[in-house]
Amino acid sequence: MARVTPCVLVVFALIGYVYCAHTGETDCQRRRRNEQRATRNLTGLLVPECDEHGEYLAMQCFGEAVRGRPFCACYDSEFGQIKGPSRQLRSCNCIRKHHDWERSHRGSSRREGGPRCDTTSGEYQPVQCTSTEHWCVDTDTGVQLGEKLRGGCSTDLSQVNCGIGGSHHGHGVGHGDSTHRGGLPR
């Protein structure tokens, strides 16, 4: 009987794959449609949100907003939860990117290079770094703002101020000088 179960699962997976391929729906679109139908008169349940390409959004929210915010959780591209529900989450872009980076480096001795995320808000930490350099990023998208500068993760980056609009200065250097894009002295 134990051998039948994996075979049955494979058959259902193939049927689902063929059905989605036939209808042109992605897994997210199909799951969303099914959940909307199944939970029509229920509130507080998770109905997946899809992006413009039909892929799962990294941040999925559900339930009623309490004190202005609903519960949200972070999901990978296959709809596996990677960060549990919280009302403090503002973004899951960094958490998903870090999850993908860890999966792609599984078994590797390389532990550096993945994005640094704020574990409460889910946003990118404003200063990202490698072993040799650091730079400012947009905290929602992770897009680099300004130049990469010398001084990596082992350097004290607590004084680096990315400021409004990505101006990057810190350590008492270049404050008030709009042409200076530095952090650590070169």
Q: What local confidence, expressed as pLDDT, does residue 164 receive? A: 58
**Could you list the mean pLDDT of each consecutive 10-residue stretch along the chain, which spans 186 residues?**
50 50 85 88 80 96 78 95 94 96 83 88 96 95 95 89 61 33 34
pTM above 0.85, yes or no: no
Angle between helices 27-38 and 4-23 (to 10 degrees): 100
- SS3 assignment, position 37: helix
Q: What local confidence, expressed as pLDDT, does residue 52 receive? A: 96
Three-state secondary structure readout of 129-177: ECCCEEEEECCCCCCEEEEEEECCCCCCCCCEECCHHHCCEECCECCCC
At 77, which helix (H) or strand (E)? none
Q: Which residue has the tokens 């202005």?
A: 68
Q: What local confidence, expressed as pLDDT, does residue 170 receive? A: 45
Q: Spell out the domain ranges in the chain.
A: 126-172
